[in-house]
Copies of this chain bind each other. A is one copy, B any other.
Amino acid sequence: MTERKRAGRRPGEFELIERYFAPLSGPGAFGLKDDAALLKVRPGRAIVVTQDAIAAGIHFFADDPPASIAAKALRVNLSDLAAKGATPVSFSLALGLPPDWQVKWLTEFARQLASDCRKYAVALTGGDTFLAPAGPVISVTAFGEIAANRYRSRLGAKPGDRLFVTGTIGDAALGLRVRRGVPEYSKLRGAKRLLKAYRYPEPPVEFAPLIGEFASAAMDISDGFVGDLGKLAAASRVDFTVAAADVPLSKAVREALPIAGALEAALTGGDDYQFLITVPSRKCAAFTSAVAGAGLAASELATAVAGAGRAIILAAQGRAMRFGQLSHEHF
């Protein structure tokens, strides 16, 4: 074995695909030996497609664990699919590596991706590896399967529909503060759990079939609860009035509430990857019992009313809260 090999020789593109990514490929991907993939669709079904990219210094820290970068790159996309009612099936990966990329980094990145392929039952269809001068940039395009009439956009909420939110809100936003080393957050007992929520989003993909069956509209919360609820309201042209006290918070987030600005951060920070779901009132009983039956959690927050398309959040005193920034702005 030469010195060079012992130091971890970097593979070329062909070897890199063969070694790290071909094992993740599925049907129609030709073992990643071809230039494209063939997605077959069962009769009566359609494909749902979404594409979200993440870049070092913007969506993650360049020195974050490679596993967390892999998890985030894939899961933010599976989140979008499931929130539309689609069952995730496969994904394509464009991976831009910095010129000084390390084999160890890639090994950990690929290992997490393999683990997520099993966890979410998805396979790689193909993609591209390239040099990206400013550190990793990862563009995943994800594909889901759906009965075409079960797709749920953010445009379909009607007055009278009930608003639900899955899981808990704000864990990742406060986890980002832990990651940044903000002292008040770093010394919380739940700090590790918050950090993990930021690094490893856990979109509740099990909701996909329930969304397809019961929802009038749905979307995932990626840019913050308040802002994304406002987007749903605007797209459907309905208003929602939500009591902040009703928004489900984890034990770790509740522990943080005495910190000035923590509630606002939890409600407006991004990276929740939970779902907003509206359900026509006549289907609510069936929906909530299906949710319980599947061992999932969703909290009812409001009833949509005809309006200008606004989300109003009420503080404990019943007054509308004001936020400096409603949600994460990409630009």
Binding site for B on A (CB under 8 A): 10, 12-13, 16, 28, 30, 33-41, 43, 46-59, 80-81, 83-84, 86, 92-94, 96-97, 125-135, 137, 139, 141, 143-144, 146, 148, 151, 153-155, 219-220, 235, 329-331
Contacts and interface: CB of A to CB of B under 8 A. Distances in A.
Contacts of A35: 50, 80, 83-84, 154, 219-220
A58 B96 CA distance: 11
Contacts of A33: 153-155, 235
A94 B59 contact: no
Identify the interface centre among A40, A129, A137: most chain B CB within 10 Å of its CB.
A137
B329 A13 contact: yes
B148 A40 contact: yes
A154 B330 CA distance: 40
A137 B41 contact: no
Copies in the complex: 2
B86 A36 contact: yes
Given A13-B330, A36-B49, A92-B141, A153 B30 contact: yes
A12 B130 contact: no
A47 B50 contact: no
B39 A47 contact: yes
B51 A127 contact: yes
Contacts of A131: 55, 58, 330-331
Contacts of A59: 130
B52 A128 contact: yes
A90 to B, nearest CB: 9
Nearest to A54: B130
A331 B10 contact: yes
A143 B51 CA distance: 13
Contacts of A58: 130-133
A314 B199 CA distance: 55
Given A34-B219, A37-B50, A94-B141, 14 more contacts: A34-B235, A36-B48, A36-B144, A38-B146, A39-B46, A41-B41, A50-B126, A53-B128, A53-B139, A55-B133, A55-B137, A58-B131, A96-B137, A131-B331
B331 A133 contact: no
Nearest to A44: B43
19 contacts: A10-B331, A13-B329, A34-B84, A34-B154, A35-B83, A36-B144, A39-B46, A39-B48, A49-B126, A49-B141, A51-B127, A53-B128, A55-B96, A55-B130, A57-B133, A59-B130, A96-B137, A129-B330, A129-B331
Contacts of A126: 49-51
